[in-house]
Amino acid sequence: MSHRKIVVALGGNAILSTDPSAQAQEAALAETARHLVKLIQNGDELIITHGNGPQVGNLLLQNLAANSEKNPAFPLDSLVAMTEGSIGFWLQNALENALQDIHLDKTVVSVVTQVVVDKNDPAFLNPSKPIGPFYSEEEAKAESEKTGANFKEDAGRGWRKVVASPKPVYIKEIDSIRTLLDKGQIVIAAGGGGIPITKNENGYFSGVEAVIDKDFASQCLAELVEADLFIILTGVDYAYINYNKPNQEKLERVTVSQLQKYIQEGQFAPGSMLPKIQAAIDFVTNRPAGKAVITSLINLGALIESESGTIIVKDE
């Protein structure tokens, strides 16, 4: 099975384990790259997306800690761009080295990716994605009055700024990404869900304070490049029902309607497995020829050999 077009969405643990230093993240990505090149060796075209949750959170804290008139903190859209750059660099470097190890001559390129969202998306009326540090109620009120930001109480741990998580509508750089793929290059794109941008009445685009779910951005990208396979990597080899219960059951080959039934039963945790399942459903629904797989990085070799992992297909 060669020459499939594959979008691989890296999970957070592919980059960051416990040590947030650049060195540790580069080491984690060197290990990640060794698994990813198996797909390239197999003759597949590869587009890689990645998360940036912990990295953008850390960068925000650094910005706020140093915030002053001479060195003002940057807005969230700029921080997403910065982490797309830094993680893109680490991943490019790791993949180039892993390709050299197996004597494959391929170019790897990262695209700083802007993702269009609808300024009338209802998510903007109900910001729900917590970012940045914890504040006391007084600090949160003061900060909100000063900047107009929204704050919510977070699980008894304090108050945190919340931003909208709108749905991705379109990938601004899609033509460039397609051109790079046509030239046989390995592309890293839509990092951290992409930089959210909206269009105004004059047709101008600008960044917004928001966070796009990385699984949905990856799914949007997979559809636009007409991928044959959309692989969502996570910490487990399979998605499960009755997870961590005595009757836990791994899902191997599963249809959209079966998954929708499990979603109604509340089988998948919101904020972790649920968006992955929903992105996989959307992909195979909108691209019936395609398949989606949820599995772990370690399982990629088995996936190539024997279709291992949770494989999501449209209804027969």
Summarised one tens digit per residue, pLDDT across range 211-229 is: 999 999 999 999 999 999 9
Q: Residue 271 — very low, low, confident or very high, per pLDDT cuts 50/70/90?
A: confident
pLDDT in tens, 67-98: 999 999 999 999 999 999 999 999 999 999 99
Q: Please give the C-alpha separations between residue 188 and each of 128, 141, 144, 260, in angstroms, as whole numbers.
A: 28, 39, 36, 31
Catalytic hit among 5, 12, 42, 53: 12
User: Encoding tokens for residue 217?
Assistant: 């951005």
Average pLDDT over residues 259-283: 94
**φ and ψ at 41, to 5 degrees?**
-60, -30
As a whole number, the mean pLDDT across the chain is 93
Active site residue 13: yes
Q: Please give the C-alpha separations between residue 253 and each of 48, 93, 278, 297, in angstroms, as whole numbers.
A: 24, 35, 16, 18
Q: Residue 284 — very low, low, confident or very high, per pLDDT cuts 50/70/90?
A: very high
pLDDT in tens, 17-57: 788 899 999 999 999 999 999 999 999 999 999 999 888 88
Average pLDDT over residues 228-254: 94
Q: Which of 71, 87, 67, 94 is nearest to 20 (CA)?
A: 87
Catalytic hit among 11, 51, 63, 129: 129
Residue 219's pLDDT is 98
3-state class (DSSP) for residue 1: coil
Catalytic hit among 63, 132, 214, 314: 214
Active site residue 214: yes
pLDDT at 187 over 80: yes
Catalytic hit among 5, 13, 106, 172: 13
Q: Please give the C-alpha separations between residue 283 and each of 19, 52, 106, 183, 201, in angstroms, as whole numbers.
A: 33, 22, 28, 25, 31
Q: Sort residue 70 into left (φ over 0), alpha (ψ -120 to 50) or beta.
A: alpha
CA 50 to CA 239: how far, in whole Å?
Answer: 19
Q: Residue 267 — very low, low, confident or very high, per pLDDT cuts 50/70/90?
A: very high
Residue 270's pLDDT is 86
**19 close to 84: Cβ distance less than 8 angstroms:** no
Q: Residue 2 — very low, low, confident or very high, per pLDDT cuts 50/70/90?
A: low
Active site residue 12: yes
Catalytic hit among 51, 191, 276, 309: 276
Residue 1's pLDDT is 47
pLDDT in tens, 126-156: 998 888 788 899 999 998 898 888 999 887 8
Active site residue 167: no
Residue 314's pLDDT is 93
Q: Please give the C-alpha separations between residue 146 and each of 143, 158, 164, 206, in angstroms, as whole numbers.
A: 5, 19, 19, 22
